[in-house]
């Protein structure tokens, strides 16, 4: 990649990753409101809003982060499979994406219940706690991926060692 394209892809990756993190933080705030509010209207609004945040912010930014991360790694000296930190970050992002896809059904279920005229927060039972706990865990995982990207721990994969020997 040319330096200009590389900076553009890096900017897109950092922006989508930060937006993903911020979207999950907003989701967590809504999940906490849905979990703790005694007002059924607030609880209803929280679960309906969580569905919107997931569909129009979390999911798109998740996929944008994954895609731009792959493109960036392929076009930089870090490579996709040369350094362990890149592989770990890719693995964490792919697992997070898969878990999010499974979680989307639960979020849709909670929103569908919240649409019912006779809805009360109690209708969701343990799902209320699960949604808040999962969002908190997602923030920890995304923070871990950010730390990997910033600190870039040493460790070259066997493929990375071969490439270093060929170019060195």
> Tell me, what's the pLDDT at 77?
80
Cβ 107 vs Cβ 127: under 8 Å = no
Distance CA 85, CA 78 (A): 10
The candidate with the shortest Cα–Cα distance to 119, out of 44, 57, 49, is 44
Please state, as a whole number, how many other Cβ atoms lie within 10 Å of the Cβ of residue 1: 14
The overall average pLDDT reported for the chain is 94
Please compute the mean of the pLDDT values over residues 95-117 and round it to a whole number: 96
Cβ 15 vs Cβ 23: under 8 Å = no
> Tell me, what's the pLDDT at 93?
97
Residue 14 has pLDDT above 80, yes or no: yes
More confident residue, 162 or 130: 130
Which tokens in the block code for residue 22? 């911020």
Question: End-to-end alpha-carbon separation of the chain, Å?
Answer: 21
Q: What is the pTM of this model?
A: 0.91
Distance CA 87, CA 29 (A): 31
Distance CA 68, CA 7 (A): 12
Among positive and negative, which fits the CA dihedral 25, 91, 134, 31? positive
Q: What percent of the chain has pLDDT over 70?
A: 99
Q: Which residues contact 35 (CB under 8 A, 6 or more apart)?
A: 128, 129, 131, 132
The candidate with the shortest Cα–Cα distance to 60, out of 31, 10, 22, 112, is 22
> Tell me, what's the pLDDT at 168?
66
pLDDT digits 0-9 by tens, 42-69: 999 999 999 999 999 999 999 999 999 9
Tell me the H-state helices in 54-83. 59-74
Which tokens in the block code for residue 36? 């703790």
């Amino acid at each position: 990649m040319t330096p200009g394209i590389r900076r553009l892809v890096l900017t897109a990756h950092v922006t989508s990753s930060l937006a993903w993190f911020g979207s999950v933080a907003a989701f967590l705030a809504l999940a906490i409101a849905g979990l703790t509010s005694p007002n059924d209207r607030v609880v209803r609004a929280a679960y309906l809003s969580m569905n919107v945040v997931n569909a129009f912010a979390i999911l798109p930014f998740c996929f944008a982060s994954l895609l731009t991360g792959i493109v960036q790694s392929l076009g930089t000296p870090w490579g996709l499979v040369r350094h362990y930190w890149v592989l770990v970050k890719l693995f964490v992002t792919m697992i997070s994406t898969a878990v999010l896809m499974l979680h989307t059904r639960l979020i849709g279920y909670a929103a569908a219940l919240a649409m019912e005229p006779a809805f009360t927060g109690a209708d969701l039972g343990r799902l209320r706690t699960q949604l808040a706990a999962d969002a908190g865990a997602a923030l920890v995982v995304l923070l871990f991926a950010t730390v990997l990207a910033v600190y870039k721990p040493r460790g070259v994969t066997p493929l990375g060692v071969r490439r270093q020997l060929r170019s060195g």
